[in-house]
Structure 1
Amino acid sequence: MTLEFAPFIPWIVIAALAVLAVVLSALGFLRGVRGTAIRLAASIAVLAALANPLLLQEERDPLTTVVPVIVDRSQSQQIAGRAEETDQALQGIRDRLGRFPNIEPRIVEVTDPGDSDAPSTKLFEALAAATTDVPPARVGGAIFVTDGQVHDIPAENQALPFDAPVHSLITGKADEFDRRIEVLRAPRFGIVDEEQELTFRVFDDGEASNQPADVSVRMNGEDLGTVPAVPGAETSFAFRVPRGGNNVLEFSVAATPGEVTDVNNRAIHLIEGIRQNLRVLLVSGEPHAGERAWRNLLKSDASVDLVHFTILRPPEKQDGTPINELSLIAFPTRELFVEKINDFDLIIFDRYQHRGVLPILYYDYIAEYVRNGGALLIAAGPEHAGQDSIALTPLESVLPATPTGDVHQAGFYPRLSEQGKRHPVTRGLDGSAVEPPQWGRWFRSVDVGRTDGETVMTGDGDRPLLVLNRANEGRVAMLLSDQGWLWARGFEGGGPHVSLYRRIAHWLMKEPELEEEALKARATGRTLEVTRQTIGDAPGPATITTPSGETIALNLNEIQPGLYRGESRMTETGLFTITNGDFSTLVHVGAVDAPEFRAMISTTDTLAPISQETRGLTARLDDGDETVRIPDILPVRGEVRVADDRRMLIKLTDETVLKGVNTLPLFAGFAGLGILLLAVSAMWWREGR
């Protein structure tokens, strides 16, 4: 109870009246005036009534003690029965805390954030969020249910936002073992076909092992062999980047009997392949209008080193001009087609005919170059139908079309064949979606009798115009007209000659984006996008295998002829395998080195120092007999000074909440009136004597 005043008049007036009463009383006492004491008492009673004293009594209720219970639901908690232990522990904690009406549990379940590319377990961040709106004095303690793999443990100089015990209940077993692999150092970029080196390490968490581990290595799904590695020691691996663009290098170590999970037995490294300048050999049979279109296209590409020869002076031309007066460069046939032929990524014969410049044997060399993985483009003109056609040389063995000897002369619109509408080289060319195509006409094509591979463009009367084919390891393309330059000149509106020529060249040089049959996948955040290219029938759904081993069927919808796509949001993070028919690809969702997958064994080492510092308890839920044992709750009042190794201590709060205030005016009502009447009556009685 407390005493307060609510004066009816200002305090300064009451003070003045009090001073006046004291002065008059002092004079009365000095002069011996009778009744001065009674007058002073009456004055005090009147002044007290004017001050209006109040007696206050507060009504308060005790506040509950808040206990945050932070439950780890991260991916490492989904293995080896830990999820079941967590559920049992959570129910047991609820039951035990429910026995105490003055304890308020706050359950917070921490899952892998769906928008995070690098998932990690952040329990202390969740603890801080759960106690933000609670005064520190009301927090009686915190309970963690986790496997111990926590990635935001405060540093030694960082204090918790409250002074109460922190308890940790650890799922999993004490003797767990796990083998994992990590890529330590690796380049992010690499020159195609140049040797690169990276370093990886195999870790044995739990039981130490010095037995070598066999690590299988795959690049873009292709086996590169097996590398022996000693656990705990760094191992180097040399490799070559096979192609431009994104390349997935995968390392996998065989699962060890008894390990908790094989999710982290695979590690990947993404390396961007960079092509050095492509070397292209362009051989023109004679100057013509279309020659410049090829030359300009290739010269405009900074990534292409072009070697161009035009045969202006055939060997049979003998006019007596001295050699030292000729300004023409001799055609270095042996150097180009014998000594350095394998240095070229692409050979183009543009309206070239066999006129004795190349010995017959050299055509055999070119055919062998193609079969061994080289690329050849024939841009055919009328010469290809004549008696000097290169189709009548040993080069015929790799050509997909044989000329009949006729040249068709008539205006026509180049059109995409049914295969061409689905083939990545010609699919979606500007102007091809309408009939007739929105591009200019051509007026000449070479007739052929048979075709192998895919005819992706046709001319007048469905005659083959562009034929693509594979020859063993190499590729060959035949453009059976020399009229493409009309598009370059803008005749009748022109046409997509740059896109067409560039796609042909890149397909010949095996760019992954232009493969007829391909399965690709990419991740944007947590969204996995799968793309399937095919020139055949609908490929059906793709199968996604998650890092945890779950399989998901993903429907692929046709977005363009021959191009199917589907996407799905993933809840897990890690290396996903996507399959469709005979095709398979890998994609990593989230950061490659996500903390959540570095270590997966259950451990008490991470949280034990926090519990020890706050006088809390760190205990395993499974003590070895396959049963979940949950420690009892012991509420205590006052500061927790000593930890209990069997029970979880909860510090009860002394905080209260104000419900109301009872007010009793001391000079109100009959009591106050009686006191004043008594004072006045005493004065009157004394004055009457």
Structure 2
Amino acid sequence: MTLSFSPFLTWWALAVLAVLALAIAFIGFSRGVRGAAIRLAAFAALIAALANPQFLMEDRDALSTIVPVVVDRSQSQEDVAGRTAMTDAALAGIRDRLSRFPGIEPRIVEAKTPEDSDTPSTRLFEALSSAISDVPPARIGGAIFITDGQVHDVPGNVNTLGFNAPVHTLLTGKAGEVDRRIEVVRGPRFGIVGQDQQVTLRVIDEGQTGSTQPATIQVRINGEEDGTVQAVPGRDVPYTFTVPRGGNNILEFTVSALAGEITEVNNKAIHQIDGIRQNLRVLLVSGEPHAGERAWRNLLKSDASVDLVHFTILRPPEKQDGTPINELSLIAFPTRELFVEKINDFDLIIFDRYQHRGVLPILYYDYISEYVKNGGALLIAAGPEHAGEDSIALTPLEQVLPAAPTGNMVEGAFYPRLSEIGKKHPVTRDLDGSGSEPPHWGRWFRSVDVEQPQGETVMNAADGHPLLILNRVEKGRVAMLLSDQGWLWARGFEGGGPHVALYRRIAHWLMKEPELEEEALTARASGRNLIITRQTIGDNPGPATVTAPSGKREEIALTQSEPGRFTAERRMSETGLFTITNGEFSTLVHIGTINAPEFKGMISTADKMKPVADATHGMITRLDNGSGGIRLPDILPVRGEVRSTDNERLTIRLTNESVLKGIETLPLFAGFGGLAILLFAVSAMWWREGR
């Protein structure tokens, strides 16, 4: 109950009246006027009535004390056996204990890694802050964390918590846990294809010190075994490897398990390196000058990543015109240097309308065949000479060529068309203008007739005759373009055609660029989305099987997005290294940040939460009771600020906050009571003055 005033006049007016009353009373007292005291009392009663004093009585209800209970549902909790069950049991027990106190209101907060997070980590204090953002600090009686202690957003200053109450931690897991993990300490982000690079690895045994027993690390590059390395825990160990291909390469390091370790989820580390090709060395040999020669030369010279060696046979050995050798401006064709000594230095050899005219010894064609079989690339751009008696198809090179000429030329105008396989093959699929009939290309007028082509015929000439054949020969690749009239497209004849795209794709397919493989399975990550692409020139390849880091397997249906390409996209709830398989194909993709904090520490620990518990007088206790159950501490509600730590009970500071429901007022001069007091004071004054 409180006293307040609601005056009928302003306070300055009441002050004037009070001064007048005091002046009249002073005069009365100084002159000895009878009834001066009663007159002063009457004036005081009148001024008090005008001030309108009243008693206020508030109707309040006590507010509950909010106790947030933050439950750790991170992957480090779920990936270790027994922790999820221990967490659930502890949560149920805390609910029960808090429910015994009517003035305490628990607020359960499930802290999970956000699905849109690329860097999985345990952010319990962030979840706590969000949960109590609408609660006044005075109402928070404390916070209880149920976690394994691997928390990655512990504040450095407890003042940032926003409340003054104990922070308690109930630890899941068991005492004395051990765990082994592997880290990539250093590693390059880029490397030149075919050259050696080095990464530095470190094996860490947490919860165990002094071990000198080496651990075995198995290395896989792009899913294929690459070797092993021995590493003593706690010491850096280098590993040297060769960058196998251009584009993204995934190095997977798996360390042998430690006896008794709690999980093998973090026994694997990933490093990604982008392979960069050095300048590709291409040998272009032209049989004689012709219009198509310039198209090939211009294409290869325009690519800054290509080192081109180009020879045109202008003077065959049998040509005799009496000109002295020392007066010729031509240079001799360095056949031995190119096709014996340095043949393996070339990434691609192109024979453009070349015929056997005695420049190359027969044995050298056999060298070229071996070069292809051992992984080299050969392109034959054929003209009429390929159907003649000096065709290189009649040399030992025939053992790697995908088709033999019949000796005839197919004459007549035709539109180059994609075959059924060509519509699916990445070399020819979606060439500009190929989607109409006839194609929006200029016509060609002749092609070399061949029989029994091997490999894939991706383009056809007139009447379905093969025009472009792609084939694999052991480790190498061969392509045959059975017409020399691609230059018509380069010159814009009848609108031209996509000669640049076609020639470049042929060359890149021959040099084994991954994106042009006709049978391939690839996957990439876009945030938390997994995007799977299956390239095939066959029928529907069926679903892809996705194996998550936790070992969970899931089949995902692939749908055709265009001829020869089947895709699927799925949002993943886990982060880490995923394995995708489809038939005999397999690929890897990493979702989220590589070597994220969530997987770096897995053992149960009190070290990270201890500074907060000490600063707020909270307690840290382990839930495991040593016999398969849990041990929960009791709740201790206290009034006022918590100034000491109770190591046996969870201290909760009860709030003094309340909510105002209503206010009752009691005016002192209202009604007949106030009127009676005034009448009594005035009557007493008159009575005294009348005597």
Q: Same fold (TM over 0.5)?
A: yes
Deviations 1:628-666 (A, max 9, x none): 222111111122222222211111112222222221111
SS, match of residue 91 in structure 1 = helix
The alpha-carbon deviation at position 419 of structure 1 amounts to 1.3
The alpha-carbon deviation at position 254 of structure 1 amounts to 2.6
CA distance in 1, matches of 2:30, 2:614: 76
The aligned counterpart of 1:316 is: 318
In the alignment, structure 1 residue 445 sits paired with structure 2 residue 447: yes
Question: Where do residues 337-356 of structure 1 align in structure 2 (5 Å cutoff)?
Answer: 337-356=339-358
The alpha-carbon deviation at position 90 of structure 1 amounts to 0.9
The alpha-carbon deviation at position 287 of structure 1 amounts to 0.6
CA distance in 2, matches of 1:608, 1:118: 25
Q: Which stretch has the larger CA shift, 340-349 or 676-685? A: 676-685
- 1:131 is matched by which residue type in structure 2? I
In the alignment, structure 1 residue 198 sits paired with structure 2 residue 199: yes
CA distance in 2, matches of 1:659, 1:157: 35
Residues 60 and 660, structure 2, Cα contact 8 Å, conserved in 1:
yes
Q: Which stretch has the larger CA shift, 380-389 or 8-17? A: 8-17
Tell me, which stretches of 5 or more residues in structure 2 are unaligned?
none
CA distance in 2, matches of 1:98, 1:74: 26
In the alignment, structure 1 residue 234 sits paired with structure 2 residue 201: no
The aligned counterpart of 2:255 is: 253
The aligned counterpart of 1:534 is: 536
In the alignment, structure 1 residue 18 sits paired with structure 2 residue 37: no
- 2:348 is matched by which residue type in structure 1? L
Question: Where do residues 65-84 of structure 1 align in structure 2 (5 Å cutoff)?
Answer: 65-78=65-78, 79-84=80-85
The aligned counterpart of 1:112 is: 113
Question: Where do residues 135-214 of structure 1 align in structure 2 (5 Å cutoff)?
Answer: 135-155=136-156, 159-208=160-209, 209-214=211-216
- 1:60 is matched by which residue type in structure 2? R
CA distance in 2, matches of 1:111, 1:13: 66
SS, match of residue 605 in structure 1 = coil
Residues 4 and 56, structure 2, Cα contact 8 Å, conserved in 1:
yes
In the alignment, structure 1 residue 517 sits paired with structure 2 residue 548: no
The alpha-carbon deviation at position 130 of structure 1 amounts to 2.2
- 2:324 is matched by which residue type in structure 1? P
The alpha-carbon deviation at position 431 of structure 1 amounts to 1.5
SS, match of residue 161 in structure 2 = coil
The alpha-carbon deviation at position 156 of structure 1 amounts to 5.1
Q: 1:591 aligns with which of 583, 590, 593?
A: 593
The aligned counterpart of 2:497 is: 495
Residues 67 and 144, structure 2, Cα contact 8 Å, conserved in 1:
yes
SS, match of residue 628 in structure 2 = coil
Tell me, which stretches of 5 or more residues in structure 1 are unaligned?
none
Q: 2:485 aligns with which of 483, 507, 515?
A: 483
CA distance in 2, matches of 1:562, 1:2: 86
CA distance in 1, matches of 2:11, 2:219: 92
Residues 179 and 206, structure 2, Cα contact 8 Å, conserved in 1:
yes
- 2:18 is matched by which residue type in structure 1? A
CA distance in 1, matches of 2:13, 2:168: 62
The alpha-carbon deviation at position 149 of structure 1 amounts to 0.6
Q: 1:553 aligns with which of 538, 552, 555?
A: 555
SS, match of residue 19 in structure 1 = helix
Residues 87 and 172, structure 2, Cα contact 8 Å, conserved in 1:
yes
The alpha-carbon deviation at position 129 of structure 1 amounts to 2.0
SS, match of residue 155 in structure 1 = coil
Deviations 1:152-192 (A, max 9, x none): 11125765322211111111111222111111100001111
Question: Where do residues 25-40 of structure 1 align in structure 2 (5 Å cutoff)?
Answer: 25-40=25-40
In the alignment, structure 1 residue 661 sits paired with structure 2 residue 660: no
SS, match of residue 422 in structure 2 = helix
CA distance in 1, matches of 2:551, 2:249: 23
CA distance in 2, matches of 1:304, 1:500: 17
The aligned counterpart of 1:89 is: 90
The aligned counterpart of 1:51 is: 51
The aligned counterpart of 1:459 is: 461
SS, match of residue 266 in structure 2 = helix
CA distance in 2, matches of 1:527, 1:454: 34
The aligned counterpart of 2:403 is: 401
CA distance in 2, matches of 1:9, 1:644: 59
- 2:38 is matched by which residue type in structure 1? I
The alpha-carbon deviation at position 671 of structure 1 amounts to 0.9
RMSD: 1.2
Residues 158 and 615, structure 2, Cα contact 8 Å, conserved in 1:
no
The alpha-carbon deviation at position 324 of structure 1 amounts to 2.1
In the alignment, structure 1 residue 357 sits paired with structure 2 residue 359: yes
CA distance in 1, matches of 2:41, 2:434: 114
The alpha-carbon deviation at position 669 of structure 1 amounts to 0.7
The aligned counterpart of 1:373 is: 375
- 1:489 is matched by which residue type in structure 2? R
The aligned counterpart of 1:621 is: 623
CA distance in 1, matches of 2:40, 2:600: 88
The number of residues matched between the two structures is 689
- 2:346 is matched by which residue type in structure 1? F
CA distance in 1, matches of 2:258, 2:685: 106
SS, match of residue 371 in structure 2 = helix
The aligned counterpart of 2:338 is: 336
Q: 1:439 to 1:143 in 2, by over 3 A?
A: same
The alpha-carbon deviation at position 3 of structure 1 amounts to 1.6
- 1:457 is matched by which residue type in structure 2? M
The alpha-carbon deviation at position 374 of structure 1 amounts to 0.5
The alpha-carbon deviation at position 134 of structure 1 amounts to 2.1
CA distance in 2, matches of 1:263, 1:492: 62
Q: 1:200 to 1:433 in 2, by over 3 A?
A: same
CA distance in 2, matches of 1:426, 1:327: 42
The alpha-carbon deviation at position 323 of structure 1 amounts to 1.8
Q: Following superposition, which runs of at least 4 residues in structure 1 exceed 6 angstroms of deviation?
A: none
CA distance in 2, matches of 1:683, 1:638: 55
Q: Which stretch has the larger CA shift, 128-137 or 376-385? A: 128-137
SS, match of residue 22 in structure 1 = helix
The aligned counterpart of 2:571 is: 569
CA distance in 1, matches of 2:128, 2:158: 18
CA distance in 2, matches of 1:302, 1:387: 38
CA distance in 2, matches of 1:398, 1:293: 25
Residues 158 and 612, structure 2, Cα contact 8 Å, conserved in 1:
no
